[in-house]
Chain A
Amino acid sequence: MRASLAVTALAVLVAALAAVPWLVSDYGLGFITNLMCYVVLTVAWALFSGTTRYVSLATAAFFGLGAYTVAMLIKEVPIYATFGAALVLGTLVAALVGLATLRISGMFFVIFGFGLSELARELLVWWEINRTHTMGRYVFVSFDTTMIYEHLLGLAVLVFLVGWLLRRTRLGVALLVIGDDETMARQAGVNVPLAKVTMFVVSSVFMTIVGAVMAPRFGYLTPNIAFNPMISFQVVIMALLGGMQRLWGPLLGVIPLIVLSELLQIRFPFWYSVFLGLVFMVIVYFLPRGVTGLVEDGWELLRRLSLRARLLRRQPSGAR
């Protein structure tokens, strides 16, 4: 009964979100599209990094890979074919990166992710200048912001579903154990490298597809726009600010930071950088479990207080 109620409520919520494009202005639509883009990226990031606790800085690389695949193929094939190509490429690259870096230790993985988008950008700039003699590509298709938004909403539903299912499978449990103690996981018979690489691929493919879907939104793409390292940093900070113990935790980080970046990033980009730095430090020193942790602590406190109040009321004062 409770489960079916929850499913109905979620279905209503998704339907309401799907109707948003017809209710808001163009500016509002742009804003909520951006929001939805980061929701998918952040939840996808948390799928892998939240469980294994490996800080992945490769988000921008996969986002850019998806976006640029679409930009390069859009003149030759229909748009869904370009999405398909992005899916295949994303899977291949994620598997290669995962196999090369995740076998050994967490540190290599962090460093590799750190520079992967820069590497991709550099190689692509070189390729475009020397081989194709283009710099920047136009993405003109009949795929407007409403379509982009609806696709992102679909991806959001999918990524939440994957996350929800993951918590009920052997793979999900295995990843949680790896996050807790990798040696113990190995002792318990978990195939550690396989579990890590699988999850990394799933998470990265989501990011690639988000990049692909977002490509028409830019209209004009250069390697510098597609592989913007800021995307990686923002995703990490959003997920950590929200907290990752709950599937919905990252949402609590995405919303405030998107609002702030909307207010600051264009007009005061340097203040935005300073501010991001401060948020990072606040999380590390004061909010290790993110806003979710804060909410849970508050909830627990309320529950205990109300419980105590009820107990006190039940005991008549004369009985003491």
Chain B
Amino acid sequence: MSLIEVVLGGVITGGLYALIAIGFNLQYGVARIFNLAYGEFLMAAAFAAFWMFTLGEIDPILGLALSVPVNFGANWLVYRVLMLPLVRRARTRDDLEGDTILATFGLLFLLKGAAQLAFTPDNRFYNYLNVPMQIIGFTFAANRVLAFSVACAVGLAIWLFLTRTRFGAAMRALAIDPTGARLVGVDATAMSALAFAGGGALVAVAGTLVSTFLTFNPAIGVEFTMKALVVVMMGGVGNMVGSLVAGVLLGVAESLCSYFIDSGLTLAVAYFLFLIVLLVRPRGLFGTP
């Protein structure tokens, strides 16, 4: 395997990380909910894709038509029912962060335990487009290339939504200045619920894509939540382009690490990058210090 192939492989993984991080950023940057159960929804979507494929022989990409609206609705409900009371009672942003961390922690355990009870803790895998594919002289697995393309398409759609629509403008305003946004007539509650649910929809796409090329089990959620956190912090809270760049950066760094050192150290790489950003640019790569 040549170095270029390693880097390109990293970019492909990184595209997926970017997608996961953008969803998290919608929830944390716009709706101000620090959702530690984020990865659990990714896990749920992965299982949905798995069962649809193995039981009903439904193509995972077609299955998105079902899992995306379901996850959108579920996350909308989580915001309205579980998070809104906390938003209403919080005096400061710190209060809200403390409360939401604990509440979503509870949700994490609840969902993980329920999935383990329902699906057993076994590792799952299915064969979907697991064939080599030639692109400009380099070989990649077709399912990874598909995952990358879908991630790009969804990312582009989100970017257009955020920059070209009134809803998108309202969300960006909320991310930058919640008080100011309210003053100019943004319905903060409705927009936050929408952004939170949108994050849930993105992670459903990501979970489906992950399931096509990775082995998964009910406990994988935390790992993805952690990576999403690291990427969002690197790219800057509320900054979607930042998440994109940081996500690709993380993918490439991981890929280089497993090529040169050891594939068991990918989390260490994420943490190492995070530490550097933390010490050098605490507001993220693109934040103003």
Give A contacts to B, CB under 8 Å. Answer: 53, 55, 100-101, 104-108, 110-112, 114-115, 118-119, 122-123, 125-126, 129-130, 229, 233, 236, 240, 269-281, 283-285
Q: Would you list 21 pairs from A and B whose C-beta atoms are within 8 A, ordered by A residue?
A: A53-B98, A55-B101, A55-B102, A108-B282, A114-B229, A115-B267, A115-B270, A115-B271, A118-B267, A122-B268, A123-B268, A273-B112, A273-B116, A274-B117, A277-B113, A279-B106, A280-B103, A280-B109, A281-B103, A284-B102, A285-B103
Give the interface size bracket for B toward A: 35 or more
- Asked if B103 contacts A119 (CB within 8 A), the reply is no
Q: Which of A101, A119, A240 contacts B268 (CB 8 A)?
A: A119
Given A100-B279, A101-B278, 19 other A-B residues pairs in contact with their CB atoms under 8 A:
A55-B98, A111-B274, A114-B229, A119-B271, A122-B267, A122-B268, A233-B109, A269-B116, A272-B113, A274-B109, A276-B106, A276-B109, A277-B108, A277-B110, A277-B112, A280-B102, A283-B102, A284-B106, A285-B103
- Asked if B106 contacts A277 (CB within 8 A), the reply is yes
How far apart are A114's CB and chain B's nearest CB, in angstroms? 6
Residues on A with beta carbons closer than 8 Å to the beta carbon of B101: 55, 110
- Asked if B107 contacts A277 (CB within 8 A), the reply is yes
Alpha-carbon gap, A113 to B85, bound state (A): 27
**Given the interface contacts A106-B94, A115-B226, A118-B267, does A285 sit within 8 Å of B114 by beta carbon?**
no
- Asked if B97 contacts A274 (CB within 8 A), the reply is no
4 closest cross-chain pairs (CB), A and B:
A280-B106, A273-B113, A277-B110, A277-B109
Residues on B with beta carbons closer than 8 Å to the beta carbon of A240: 102
Residues on A with beta carbons closer than 8 Å to the beta carbon of B105: 233, 236, 277, 280
Residues on B with beta carbons closer than 8 Å to the beta carbon of A275: 113
Residues on A with beta carbons closer than 8 Å to the beta carbon of B226: 111, 114-115, 118
How far apart are A119's CB and chain B's nearest CB, in angstroms? 5
Residues on B with beta carbons closer than 8 Å to the beta carbon of A122: 264-265, 267-268
Q: Name the residue on B nearest A107 (C-beta).
A: B97
Alpha-carbon gap, A104 to B275, bound state (A): 12
How far apart are A146's CB and chain B's nearest CB, in angstroms? 34
Q: Name the residue on B nearest A282 (C-beta).
A: B106
How far apart are B193's CB and chain A's nearest CB, in angstroms? 19
Alpha-carbon gap, A177 to B173, bound state (A): 33
Alpha-carbon gap, A118 to B226, bound state (A): 10
Alpha-carbon gap, A108 to B271, bound state (A): 12
Q: Judge if B177 is at the interface, Cβ distance under 8 Å.
A: no
How far apart are B119's CB and chain A's nearest CB, in angstroms? 10
**Given the interface contacts A119-B267, A233-B109, A273-B109, does A108 sit within 8 Å of B278 by beta carbon?**
yes
- B222-240: which have CB < 8 Å to A? 222, 226, 229-230, 233
Alpha-carbon gap, A271 to B268, bound state (A): 31
Q: Judge if B86 is at the interface, Cβ distance under 8 Å.
A: yes
Alpha-carbon gap, A269 to B113, bound state (A): 8
Alpha-carbon gap, A283 to B262, bound state (A): 42
Alpha-carbon gap, A218 to B270, bound state (A): 31
Q: Name the residue on A nearest B86 (C-beta).
A: A284
How far apart are B96's CB and chain A's nearest CB, in angstroms? 12
Alpha-carbon gap, A53 to B264, bound state (A): 34
Alpha-carbon gap, A115 to B227, bound state (A): 10
- B209-261: which have CB < 8 Å to A? 222, 226, 229-230, 233
Q: Name the residue on A nearest B227 (C-beta).
A: A115
Alpha-carbon gap, A304 to B82, bound state (A): 35
- Asked if A271 contacts B99 (CB within 8 A), the reply is no
